[in-house]
Amino acid sequence: MSDVFDLDRLRADTPGCAVGMHFNHSGASLPSQSTLTAMWDYLRKESNDGPMEAANSATALLEDVRAGTAALIGARPSEIAFLGSGSAAWGAAFAALPPLVPGDRILVGRQEWGGNLATMQDATVRAGARVEAIPARDDGSVDASALAAMIDERVRLVSLTWLPANGGLINDAAAVGRVTRAAGIPYFIDAGQALGQIPIDVASLGCDVLKAAGRKFLRGPRGTAILYVRQEFLPRLTPRYLDVLSGPIVDGVVKIRDDARRFEAGEISPALILGLGAAICQASALGMKAIRERIGTLANELRDNLRSIPNVTVRDLGAELSGVVSFTVEGIPAPEVRAALAERQIAIGANGVPYTPLDMTARGLDQIARASVSYLNTLSEIARLSDAVADVARKA
């Protein structure tokens, strides 16, 4: 494995590594000490100087975080807004699209995140429009050629969850981008499970909007998310509401910002953004390619181990796999698997249908256990997790 990882140092710099084994980086990862320090230091400054006064002196630091975020995904700083959650970021961009009218169509990948889907379904039902799933290839991933065949003048949006929440699949988001770009149709990518896990380059993805929470593989704080909006696409989005930062009234006229901050609230937490900045610096210093490789190696080791355990079925689809490892244990519901592992100080996730309704329904699954792997994890932790799953499965 790559030696850019000084694992002892990285783990010593992560207080949670000393407590238990964390395999829930898809839900939220463990922050590093530098992220915690960035937040603590700023909160102390707020309490000493006054929050508004502290913010005035942190403007340049916050803009550095914006620049670092942009660099991480190949964007320009003016194309980045900070919001409080992935869903808030996605919803803000979706709500800013022109209103839907009867007969309009929205096309989505089969693994679309349930929250996005609920937002689209609600809007389309009210407008007399509809959401349609793009067919999947045999390996479960989105079929870009099938998408091309679905395009007509009624398609208003294509939305793709790049890496799903319920398994290790990696969709070919760039192939979808080539279709949408050729057709001139808005393209939103949910990169919730991608940010901090795999390299992201918005230009090669060909998307107009991309969003992700900071707390997952990137190891940023909860309550942070990034929203990318392509500069040339911004004029097509009208924010549903404004504040004095995103749309101040100047000489009696509303001046909506001409950058992505038209979606950013004036009242955001600088402490959280600075914590996010520390996480971005760390990921950038390690390098996303090296992170991706290490996660891939660890996750494949885990999959191989799980496949050899009686009563355990690995549920990951796709040719190219991520660090999200999904499995089921015959006769034991996923929440119980999670609880049994929690008793052994091992944190994993357990998902039901609402996270990825189309995919879970298409595959006849009602729940999956989800062990998600970070570069912070070790081969010895993978072995101990595998033994613990075997132990749980024996009792099935």
Residue given tokens 């390619």 in the structure block: 289
Query: How far is Cα 96 from Cα 109, in angstroms, rounded to an integer?
Result: 21
Q: How many residues at the interface with ligand PLP, by CB under 6 A?
A: 12
Q: Which is nearer to ligand PLP, 113 or 375 (CB)?
A: 113
Binder among 31, 140, 167, 192 for ligand PLP (CB under 6 A): 192
For the bound state, the minimum distance from the C-beta of residue 165 to ligand PLP, rounded and expressed in Å, comes to: 3
Query: How far is Cα 13 from Cα 274, in angstroms, rounded to an integer?
Result: 17
For the bound state, the minimum distance from the C-beta of residue 322 to ligand PLP, rounded and expressed in Å, comes to: 11
**Nearest Cα to 365, choosing from 323, 319, 316, 320?**
316
**Nearest Cα to 223, choosing from 261, 288, 280, 271?**
271
Q: Which is nearer to ligand PLP, 193 or 246 (CB)?
A: 193
Q: Is the dihedral of CA 199, 205, 208, 210 positive or negative?
A: negative
Under the binding rule (CB under 6 A), the answer on residue 193 touching ligand PLP is yes
Residue 385 structure tokens? 């997790």
SS3 169: strand
For the bound state, the minimum distance from the C-beta of residue 85 to ligand PLP, rounded and expressed in Å, comes to: 4
Query: Contact, 356 vs 165, CB < 8 A?
Result: yes
For the bound state, the minimum distance from the C-beta of residue 225 to ligand PLP, rounded and expressed in Å, comes to: 6
Q: Which is nearer to ligand PLP, 115 or 357 (CB)?
A: 115
Phi, psi of 186 (to 5 degrees): -55, 140
Site for ligand PLP in 198-237 (CB under 6 A): 213, 225
Site for ligand PLP in 123-142 (CB under 6 A): none
Under the binding rule (CB under 6 A), the answer on residue 55 touching ligand PLP is no
Binder among 133, 165, 226, 334 for ligand PLP (CB under 6 A): 165
Binder among 46, 190, 316, 381 for ligand PLP (CB under 6 A): 190
Using a 10 angstrom Cβ sphere, with 0-12 exposed, 13-18 middle and 19 or more buried, the burial of residue 142 is buried
Question: 63-98 as b/e, with b when 16 or more CB fall inside 10 Å?
Answer: ebbbebbbebbebbbbbbbbbbbbbbbbbbbbbbbe
Q: How many residues does the chain have?
A: 396
Query: Contact, 107 vs 101, CB < 8 A?
Result: no
Identify which range of 12-20, 58-66, 189-197, 238-246 contacts ligand PLP by CB under 6 A. Answer: 189-197
Query: Contact, 83 vs 89, CB < 8 A?
Result: yes
Identify which range of 63-71, 190-198, 300-308, 339-347 contacts ligand PLP by CB under 6 A. Answer: 190-198
Q: Which is nearer to ligand PLP, 322 or 386 (CB)?
A: 322
Identify which range of 62-70, 185-193, 280-288, 315-323 contacts ligand PLP by CB under 6 A. Answer: 185-193
Under the binding rule (CB under 6 A), the answer on residue 282 touching ligand PLP is no
Query: How far is Cα 155 from Cα 282, in angstroms, rounded to an integer?
Result: 40
| Crossing angle for the helix pair 270-286 and 59-73, to the nearest 10 degrees | 40
Identify which range of 95-103, 186-194, 196-204, 289-297 contacts ligand PLP by CB under 6 A. Answer: 186-194
For the bound state, the minimum distance from the C-beta of residue 83 to ligand PLP, rounded and expressed in Å, comes to: 9
Site for ligand PLP in 76-115 (CB under 6 A): 85-87, 113, 115
Q: How many CA atoms lie within 13 A of 377 on its CB side?
A: 32
Q: Which is nearer to ligand PLP, 272 or 392 (CB)?
A: 272
Site for ligand PLP in 353-382 (CB under 6 A): none
For the bound state, the minimum distance from the C-beta of residue 350 to ligand PLP, rounded and expressed in Å, comes to: 12
The radius of gyration of the chain's CA atoms, rounded to the nearest angstrom, is: 21
Q: How many CA atoms lie within 13 A of 147 on its CB side?
A: 32
For the bound state, the minimum distance from the C-beta of residue 143 to ligand PLP, rounded and expressed in Å, comes to: 19
For the bound state, the minimum distance from the C-beta of residue 82 to ligand PLP, rounded and expressed in Å, comes to: 13
Residues forming the site for ligand PLP (CB under 6 A):
85-87, 113, 115, 161, 165, 190, 192-193, 213, 225
